[in-house]
Amino acid sequence: MNERSSGAELAAILRGELNRYSPGEKLPSSRALMVRHQVSPVTVSRAIAELAAQGLVVTRPGAGVFRAEAAPGAAPGGSGGTAPPDTSWQEVALSAEAGVPPSRSADASGVLAALALAPPEVVDLNSGYLHPVLQPERALAAALARAGRRPGAWGRPPIDGLPELRAWFARDIGGALTASDVLITAGGQSALTTALRSLAAPGAPVLVESPTYPGTVAVARAAGLRPVPVPVDADGLRTDLLADAFAATRARVLVCQPLFQNPTGAVLSAARRPEVLRIARAAGAFVVEDDFARRLVHTDAPALPVPLAAEDPDGVVVHIRSLTKPTSPSLRVGAITARGPAYQRLRAVQAMDSFFVPRPLQETTLELVASPAWSHHLRTLAGALHDRRQTLAVALRQWLPDLLPDRLPYGGYHLWLRLPDGRDDGALAAAALRAGVAVTPGRGYFTAEAPGPHLRLSYACADSPERLTEGVRRLHRAYGEPL
Ligand SMILES: Cc1ncc(COP(=O)(O)O)c(C=O)c1O
């Protein structure tokens, strides 16, 4: 028997014995397991990693291995319940005709601007991904190496994704979701494309937040959809305008980011959360919840609201989650969840587009999230993002005090600055680049006329906090240039 199969066998034995321990209770030490089951340390660590990936145990370095507190499948903070969801409304939503001739456009300029790499001499305040110094590079390298040694690592994965990874995402998202509601995707962008192509017919309207991530608007238009903006304020999507927007457009899909919205950083308020679901349900529409920044929470954040998907009893919410933002843009692994017939639609569209997500990446992800390095990384990242946000705010207060936002976000990686009326954000971004700092002009975040000029400054992609300060100094120089 080789190490790999004996690891799986030991995991099966330990799984069967888990009920002997209360939630939170310590399991026997690795040494005790080696002696009792006559296996090597490698076999024990493989078995524990498998149980950790399944959420059955948690490992605490230096302390041992403990039975997980909540049984998988329980509903952490969600509506829970075992009654099957009533998703019959989806049949109408998925067949609704648009009645407007579709027109498709393939304008990737917003996406390509977001992906542009700044030359080394330029301070990058534009990119939406972590600088390598903030990425868990060692943990990723170790996970990749371990994944490469997993049995069948280069084999073909199931179309929907590896079962353990689907189960991990279901637990991570919460509510009544199970592994069978989760489709593994190649990150968030691919999930957005799949969602919009699956849930609305060409020519159909789709409600989007205003302002919003340009990549959402780009994939909507490429799918022949008509993005219709609904304003966002400091409390997130304006639910007082939402019912009218559904009534005026007869849209069947709304895309929103309830947590740390890109670009405003807003969190959907507790009062508005049930409103979004109630109004969408009344309109027979899906809510595509792009939860892209949940793992970019800062250390000073209050307890986060659960995803809308965890409080959705009848399949209204299609939830999107990606691991690129808290790790590396190249760990292109994410998940899209749906309950009811919508799931089959999403699965079919993704299978036609790309078959499945490469298995080595899925295996790497499983190795990463099951290792103690994962929670350690998230804690470190929360502290680093907090400190960077503060550094950026201090620099703005010193150099450009009028642009400092009233409220700073407690998650995500960017500040959204309102420029004075009449200021051209595109011209300012161009001048800033000449002065040696890359910033993002706000106009690309609006589907129609922008209500005012804005800039977005990212604090995740500079190589150090000092460079953030230097970036603001350069922006100040550009700001002072004659128009
Ligand atoms: C709001 C939002 N959603 C989705 C994405 C896509 O990210 P990825 O495909 O790397 O997961 C981005 C990237 O910037 C984003 O800002």
Report pLDDT digits (tens) over 300-339.
Answer: 999 999 999 999 999 999 999 999 999 999 999 999 999 9
Nearest Cα residue to 414 out of 106, 126, 69: 126
Helix residue spans in 149-200 (DSSP H): 163-173, 187-199
The Cα–Cα gap between 39 and 402 comes to 65
Ligand 1 binding pocket includes 187 (Cβ within 6 Å): yes
pLDDT band at 98 (very low <50, low <70, confident <90, very high): low
Indicate which atom in ligand 1 lies nearest the CA of residue 188. 11
Q: Give the number of C-alpha atoms closer than 13 A to the C-alpha of residue 4, restricted to the C-beta side.
A: 8
- Is the pLDDT at 82 greater than 70, yes or no? no
Confidence at residue 353, expressed as pLDDT on a 0 to 100 scale: 96
pLDDT band at 108 (very low <50, low <70, confident <90, very high): confident
Confidence at residue 243, expressed as pLDDT on a 0 to 100 scale: 97
Pairwise pLDDT comparison (19 vs 353), residue with the higher score: 353
Confidence at residue 357, expressed as pLDDT on a 0 to 100 scale: 98
Ligand 1 binding pocket includes 334 (Cβ within 6 Å): yes
The Cα–Cα gap between 317 and 253 comes to 10
Question: What's the distance, CA 310 to chain centroid?
Answer: 15
- Is the pLDDT at 71 greater than 60, yes or no? no
202 C-alpha vs ligand 1 centroid, how far in Å?
23
Nearest Cα residue to 270 out of 245, 244, 305, 238: 305
Concatenate the DSSP letters of all residues of 56-96 into one string.
SEEEETTTEEEE-SS-TTS-TTS---SSPP--THHHHHHH-
| Distances in whole angstroms, Cα of residue 463 to Cα of each of 388, 415, 468, 478 | 11, 17, 8, 21
260 C-alpha vs ligand 1 centroid, how far in Å?
12
Least confident residue range of 42-51, 88-97, 328-337, 458-467: 88-97
Confidence at residue 222, expressed as pLDDT on a 0 to 100 scale: 96
299 secondary structure, DSSP code: T
For the chain, give the mean pLDDT: 92
Atom 14, ligand 1: residue with shortest CA distance? 128
pLDDT digits (tens, 9 = 90+) for 118-155: 899 999 999 999 999 999 999 999 999 999 999 999 99
Ligand 1 binding pocket includes 292 (Cβ within 6 Å): yes
Confidence at residue 474, expressed as pLDDT on a 0 to 100 scale: 98
- Is the pLDDT at 4 greater than 60, yes or no? no
β-bridge pairing 182-185 and 286-290 = unpaired
Confidence at residue 45, expressed as pLDDT on a 0 to 100 scale: 81
Confidence at residue 209, expressed as pLDDT on a 0 to 100 scale: 98
Indicate which atom in ligand 1 lies nearest the CA of residue 190. 9
Region 422-432: mean pLDDT is 97
Confidence at residue 97, expressed as pLDDT on a 0 to 100 scale: 67
Residue type present at position 387: D
Are 475 and 417 in contact, with CB atoms under 8 Å apart?
no
Confidence at residue 32, expressed as pLDDT on a 0 to 100 scale: 87
Concatenate the DSSP letters of all residues of 373-432 into one string.
HHHHHHHHHHHHHHHHHHHHHHHHHHH-GGGS-SS--SBSSEEEEEPPTT--HHHHHHHH
How many other β-carbons are positioned within 10 Å of the β-carbon of residue 207? 26
Ligand 1 binding pocket includes 329 (Cβ within 6 Å): yes
Pairwise pLDDT comparison (16 vs 2), residue with the higher score: 16
pLDDT digits (tens, 9 = 90+) for 269-291: 999 999 999 999 999 999 999 99
Give all domains of the chain, ordered by start, each with its CATH number. Answer: 3-67 (1.10.10.10), 109-134+374-479 (3.90.1150.10), 155-368 (3.40.640.10)
Least confident residue range of 52-61, 63-72, 101-110, 260-269: 63-72
Beta bridge partner(s), residue 57? 67
Atom 3, ligand 1: residue with shortest CA distance? 292
| Distances in whole angstroms, Cα of residue 265 to Cα of each of 118, 389, 394, 413, 461 | 23, 12, 18, 8, 17
271 secondary structure, DSSP code: T
Pairwise pLDDT comparison (16 vs 382), residue with the higher score: 382
Atom 4, ligand 1: residue with shortest CA distance? 188
Confidence at residue 113, expressed as pLDDT on a 0 to 100 scale: 84
249 C-alpha vs ligand 1 centroid, how far in Å?
26
Return the percentage of the chain with pLDDT > 70, whole number. Answer: 95
Are 258 and 309 in contact, with CB atoms under 8 Å apart?
no
Region 168-186: mean pLDDT is 97
Region 153-168: mean pLDDT is 97
Looking up tokens 């009544």 gives 176
Region 46-53: mean pLDDT is 83
334 C-alpha vs ligand 1 centroid, how far in Å?
10
Indicate which atom in ligand 1 lies nearest the CA of residue 128. 14
How many other β-carbons are positioned within 10 Å of the β-carbon of residue 270? 9
How many other β-carbons are positioned within 10 Å of the β-carbon of residue 138? 10
Confidence at residue 3, expressed as pLDDT on a 0 to 100 scale: 57
Region 81-107: mean pLDDT is 77
Question: What's the distance, CA 306 to chain centroid?
Answer: 13
Region 88-106: mean pLDDT is 78
